[in-house]
A and B are shown apart, each in its own frame.
Chain A
Amino acid sequence: MKTVRLRLEELACPTCAQKIGQVLEREKGVHSARVAYATATATVEYDPELIDLDRITQVIAKLGYKVIGM
């Protein structure tokens, strides 16, 4: 299990944070995803054998948000 903290571009509304978290947690291999609206960070705990960082940032991008750093 690996944990990564991603910095996101500003989130427009608190529900965006909830939304990103919900979607990430549905991905196979993601154990938990906490997205904090106030700090615009996503803390994702995942199994590197099932999902990689690229896939995680892709999912976030598909929802319309940018990962701007680690």
Chain B
Amino acid sequence: MGVYALEQRREGGLIASLWRSRSAATVAAGALIVISWLGARGQFLPPPWTNGGMILAAVLAGHRIARQAFFALRYRVLGIEALVTTAAIGAILIGEYWEAAVVTFLFAFGSYLEGRTMDKSRQALRELLELAPRQATVIRDGVELQVLAEEVQKGEMVLVRPGEKIPVDGHVVKGEAFVNQAPITGESMPVEKGLGDNVYSGTIIQTGYLELIADKVGDDTTFSRIIHMVEEAQERTAPVQRFVERFARYYTPAIMVLAVLVYAITRNVLLALTLLVIACPGALVIATPISIVAGIGNAARKGVLVKGGEYLEMLGSIDVVVLDKTGTLTEGEPRVVEVKGFGAGRDAVLTLAAALERYSEHPLARAITSQADEEGLEYPPVDDFTVLTGHGVKGVLDGQPLLLGNEKLLEREGVAIPEEIRLHLKDQAAMGRTVILLAQAGRIIGAISLADTIRQEAKELVRSLKKAGVKETIMLTGDNPGTARAVAEAVGIDSFQAGVLPEHKAKAIARLQAQGRRVAMVGDGVNDAPAMAQADVGIAMGAIGTDVAIETADVALMDDRLFGLVYIIGLSRAVLKNIRQNLIFAVAVVFLLLAGVLGGRVILGSGMLIHELSVLLVILNATRLLKYQPRP
């Protein structure tokens, strides 16, 4: 590309290289200013020398600014460079050499420092980019071949060895490995992968070896799409920012008009020129975007994808967090929680039930067999095994007919349910449990209670959310009120709505919003997509591998640790606070500068000093967000 020609080194002496290198020119200008100032103060240099030194400093630091101003003017755009150049030339013309040198030096030096500091906040994103896989080993026509990661074709066989990065999204066809998925999920505990498992581009094999078929390559991989979305998110402007930019668009020309008016009325050239220097409210314009960039960068590193600054801003002021029960607060899989024998031993009941359920794929059946396995029970095969409609099974063991199923199924099969057992069923239902009954020769001998177990971290969650500033937590579920109440009480959630069908979840959210509350909806991003869209902020958990969730959510937590939720809400509050600090400070600077200039207290050099310092302070404040750590 043509631009790189500009980089070409040209031969030349010291002056020529000073002319070309921005930092060298700036440093030389600074040195000249100090020498000339000392020379004038100590009277060891005659005025023509010190004045000449100041002018030379202004030219060294300012020629680049002037050139940029000139180019922009050719395109009929008036930028801050034009204002600074006008101010510097004006200052030289009226004999204020010192002011001209200081204004140009501070502008050049300030820009340099700001660029450096700003770079730090972009670092988070750059680190993410560096995690992208570069090389891949593929099998083509039976031959092992090294290619660039983006050259892998869909459907191709890819080999990945220990320590290597997985170059594509794919599924494992051979081998086993522990994979570090931190680049995507932020969770550094390695995950075990084997036959049929999905693996993701950018993740790293720690131990083991995998052969996989590429399902998604190049820009389509989860990793590439995350990077792309993070970049776009950083560019999307938050509502506050649009207002600020509109303000800046009027502020700059207004100050320029004011400068002309002031000159026309007072004939005070210095005052008019100073106004030009402060016409660009730099700190104000960057106050919001710089905090957002730092915040989104921090989140990306922790495996949280924020789709835009506006969501970070919104999340920072959320009142209510609505959680989907299944898979969020609970494991989403039933487990045996109680086994009761009626005239039979507990272990016998579980053994017989497991024997019957051995061949069933139903989640309740799997829960029963795995409980029996866990307890080390040996269950024999049954004869005449039959699956009944309505989730029941029957069979024969040791000549005794066995029947397993819920209350309704047993009644249908003609089994009498005594009062004692009916009471037990009622108790269990009130606790939100599902009960499976076991009958032997037409008589009930046991009851197994199952429940979706609550995730360990769920109990911490509600408390942590409150600490992070959330006013209310609400659970939505399609389950019956008994189950809902049991879970809600166990995790200490504020309130719950049971029996809510997926399509009604969005309405429930809308009702909360109608009460004037800001609502975040947390779910899996698939079944509750409409509710997430309705909410002010939709947060998807465990989004890795679910394209729909990544697509529909405003905020996507790649893995499903609830802690990520507390982290992102905490971070969003920190970002909002940071933006507020920046804006208040920047507005104060704008007014103080204007008042200072009009009151004659601030002139050219000091005006520029305050301007540059304020920009630098705003950037430094924002970089604090890069270090934000969630408190567990």
Show the binding face of A for B, using Cβ within 8 Å: 5, 10-16, 18-19, 22-23, 26, 34, 36-41, 43, 53-54, 57-58, 60-64, 66-67
Contacts and interface: CB of A to CB of B under 8 A. Distances in A.
B231 A54 contact: no
B79 A57 contact: no
Nearest to B122: A39
Contacts of A66: 3, 6-7
Interface centre among A12, A53, A57 (most CB of B within 10 A): A12
B6 A13 contact: no
Given A15-B79, A39-B122, A10 B72 contact: no
Contact of A58 (B3, B80, B286): B3
A41 B129 CA distance: 15
A60 B252 CA distance: 23
Contact of B72 (A12, A14, A19, A38): A19
B67 interface: yes
Interface string B270-304: 00000000001010011001101100000000000
Given A12-B111, A12-B115, A40-B122, A34 B235 contact: yes
A54 B2 contact: yes
Contact of B289 (A23, A37, A64): A37
Contacts of A10: 114-115, 118-119
B611 to A, nearest CB: 10
Given A12-B114, A19-B79, A39-B235, A64 B3 contact: no
B2 A14 contact: no
A70 to B, nearest CB: 9
B125 interface: yes
A37 B1 contact: no
A32 to B, nearest CB: 13
Given A11-B115, A64-B72, 10 more contacts: A5-B231, A14-B286, A15-B248, A36-B235, A37-B285, A38-B121, A38-B122, A38-B289, A39-B122, A64-B67
A54 B79 contact: no
Contacts of B434: none
Interface in B558-574: none
B75 A41 contact: no
A42 to B, nearest CB: 10
Given A13-B282, A38-B289, A58 B125 contact: no
26 contacts: A5-B231, A10-B115, A13-B111, A13-B280, A14-B248, A15-B80, A23-B75, A23-B77, A37-B285, A37-B286, A38-B122, A38-B289, A38-B290, A39-B122, A39-B231, A39-B234, A39-B235, A39-B293, A54-B2, A57-B1, A58-B3, A60-B3, A61-B2, A61-B6, A63-B71, A64-B71
Given A12-B114, A14-B285, A61-B2, A41 B67 contact: no
B121 to A, nearest CB: 7
Contacts of A38: 118, 121-122, 234, 286, 289-290, 292-293
B235 A41 contact: yes
- The 5 A-B pairs with the shortest beta carbon distances in the complex, nearest first, are A10-B115, A12-B111, A64-B68, A14-B285, A36-B235
B193 interface: no
A18 B289 CA distance: 14
A62 B121 CA distance: 27
A10 B121 CA distance: 12
Contacts of A16: 79-80
Contacts of B248: 14-15
Contacts of A14: 248, 280, 282, 285-286
Interface in B22-54: none
Contacts of A34: 235
A40 B293 CA distance: 11
Nearest to B108: A12
Contacts of A61: 2-3, 6
Nearest to B611: A13
On chain B, which size bracket covers the interface? 35 or more
Contacts of B115: 10-12
Nearest to B612: A13
Nearest to A68: B3
B366 interface: no
Given A34-B235, A36-B235, A38-B234, A26 B1 contact: no
B55 to A, nearest CB: 23
A31 to B, nearest CB: 17
Contacts of B119: 10
A14 B111 CA distance: 11
A14 B282 CA distance: 7
A34 B241 CA distance: 14
B64 interface: yes
Contacts of B290: 38
B83 to A, nearest CB: 9
Given A63-B68, A64-B71, A43 B235 contact: yes
Contacts of A18: 79
A61 B152 CA distance: 35
A64 B1 contact: no
Interface string B51-91: 00000000000001001100110110101100000000000
Contacts of B72: 19, 23, 63-64
Contact of A67 (B3, B71, B235): B3
Nearest to B249: A18
A22 B293 contact: no
Interface string B105-137: 000000100110011011001000000000000
Nearest to B237: A36
Nearest to A34: B235
Contacts of B118: 10, 38, 40
A15 B252 CA distance: 10
Contacts of B114: 10, 12
A12 B248 CA distance: 16
B453 to A, nearest CB: 44
Nearest to A22: B77
B421 to A, nearest CB: 67
A25 B293 CA distance: 25
A26 B72 CA distance: 12
